[in-house]
Amino acid sequence: MINIGIIGCGNISNVHMKSYLNNNDVKVIAVCDINEKRAKEYSKEYNIPNFYNNHRDLLNNKDIDAVSVCTWNNSHAEITIDALNAKKHVLCEKPLAMNTKEAIAMEKASKDNNKLLMVGFVRRFGRNATILKDFAEKGFLGEIYYAKTGCLRRNGNPTGWFSDISKSGGGPLIDLGVHMIDLCRYIMGKPVAVKAFGVTNNLLGPRLDVKMVDRYSPVDKGTLSNVEDFAKAMVTFENGAVLSIETSFSMHIKEDYLFCELYGTKAGAKIEPEFEIISNIDGYNVDITPNYSKEKNFFQDIFQQEINHFIDCISNNTTCINPVKDGVDLMKILDAIYKSAKTKCEVKIT
Ligand X SMILES: NC(=O)c1ccc[n+]([C@@H]2O[C@H](COP(=O)([O-])OP(=O)(O)OC[C@H]3O[C@@H](n4cnc5c(N)ncnc54)[C@H](O)[C@@H]3O)[C@@H](O)[C@H]2O)c1
Please give the residue ranges that form the binding site for ligand X (CB under 6 A). 7-13, 32-35, 38, 55, 70-73, 75, 93-94, 120, 122, 161, 175, 218-220
Find the shortest distance in angstroms from Cβ 343 to ligand X. 26
Alpha-carbon distances, residue 192 vs 181, 247, 256, 334, 342 (angstroms): 13, 22, 30, 14, 23
Find the shortest distance in angstroms from Cβ 109 to ligand X. 17
**Phi, psi for residue 244 in degrees, rounded to 5:** -115, 135
**For residues 182 and 260, is the Cβ–Cβ distance under 8 A?**
no
Residue (70 or 144) nearer to ligand X, CB: 70
Q: Which residue's CB comes closest to ligand X? A: 10
Cα–Cα distance for residue pair 122/120, rounded to 1 Å: 5
Residue (74 or 236) nearer to ligand X, CB: 74
Residue (52 or 135) nearer to ligand X, CB: 52
Find the shortest distance in angstroms from Cβ 97 to ligand X. 10
- DSSP-derived 3-state class of residue 287: strand
Residue (33 or 272) nearer to ligand X, CB: 33
**Phi, psi for residue 305 in degrees, rounded to 5:** -65, -40
Find the shortest distance in angstroms from Cβ 35 to ligand X. 4
Omega prior to 273 cis, within 30 of 0: yes
**Phi, psi for residue 22 in degrees, rounded to 5:** -90, 5
Q: At what angle do helices 100-113 and 76-85 cross, to 10 degrees?
A: 10
Residue (82 or 329) nearer to ligand X, CB: 82
Cα–Cα distance for residue pair 258/133, rounded to 1 Å: 19
Helix (H) or strand (E) holding 50: strand 50-52
Residue (263 or 310) nearer to ligand X, CB: 310
Q: At what angle do helices 127-137 and 178-187 cross, to 10 degrees?
A: 30
Find the shortest distance in angstroms from Cβ 78 to ligand X. 7
Task: Calculate the CA dihedral of residues 16, 19, 82, 108 and round it to 10 degrees.
Answer: -100
Residue (143 or 256) nearer to ligand X, CB: 256
Residue (299 or 348) nearer to ligand X, CB: 299
Find the shortest distance in angstroms from Cβ 96 to ligand X. 9
Find the shortest distance in angstroms from Cβ 264 to ligand X. 27
**Phi, psi for residue 219 in degrees, rounded to 5:** -65, -30
Find the shortest distance in angstroms from Cβ 141 to ligand X. 26
